[in-house]
Amino acid sequence: MTNLILFGPPGSGKGTQAAKLVEKYQLVHISTGDLFRYEMGNNTPLGQEAKRYIEKGELVPDEVTIGMLKNKVDANPDAKGFIFDGFPRTIAQAEALDKLLADMGTGVTALLALDVDDEEIIKRILLRGKTSGRADDNDEQIIRNRIEVYNKETSPVFDYYAQKGKAQKIPGIGSIDEIFERLCKAIDAAVAA
Ligand code: C5P
Ligand code: MG
């Protein structure tokens, strides 16, 4: 299997690039943020719980997110592999993912981190907020909190996979196609390794 983690701060282009990558590599895209938004849209108990955190730009508790992620992986037994987008967001989530994949006889192929600076991110998210309908994209305070949470809780996940020789940074500034080409090069090299 080829299992990719598309990593990077909010607004770094993970969702945009994941959509192109799944098409090229025939992998299953799992965006935990999209899954939460779907649950919130249907006002399910999971959605109601997630909303309490998401509207503040905080992380949903690990056990909730990990449980949802496992369900989604289990629902795709024939997948050639996965693109994880917005997950793992904490070291505990990374450890849970490694265990889940190890139990399936596989593992993380590569983590690709889209590198974009904070001011560019805030600009992009506010722009996206005009059409995304996401409350957490429309408030600069919430966006700044999401970036702070990313720096504190999520960025250590990069080092966790870097220690395993699996993480690399990809410049996330440029056209969508340029960034896509950079990602494809890195993925092809990781798959061949
Ligand atoms: O990945 P995305 O930016 O779409 O996630 C939106 C929000 O969902 C995050 O700001 C966070 O509140 C929540 N989330 C989370 N844990 C994850 C993924 C998303 O708490 N692993
Ligand atoms: Mg996204």
pLDDT value at residue 41: 96
Q: What is 2-187's CATH number, 2.40.30.10, 1.25.40.10, 3.40.50.300, 3.90.79.10?
A: 3.40.50.300
pLDDT (tens digit, 9 = 90+) per residue, 31-50?
999 999 999 999 999 999 99
Domain boundaries, the chain: 2-187
What is the reported pLDDT for 189?
97
Ligand 1 cavity residues, CB under 6 Å: 10, 32-33, 36, 53-54, 57-60, 65, 86-87, 89, 136, 146
Instruction: Please report the pLDDT score of residue 129 as a whole number.
Output: 95
Residues that are catalytic: 14, 89, 128, 134, 146
Take atom 6 of ligand 1 and give the residue whose Cα is closest: 33
Give the chain's mean pLDDT.
97
pTM for this model (two decimals):
0.96
Q: Tell the residue number behind the tokens 């996940």, with chain if given.
A: 157
pLDDT in tens, 54-101: 999 999 999 999 999 999 999 999 999 999 999 999 999 999 999 999
Residue 170: pLDDT band (50, 70, 90) is very high
Residue nearest to atom 12 of ligand 1 (CA): 54
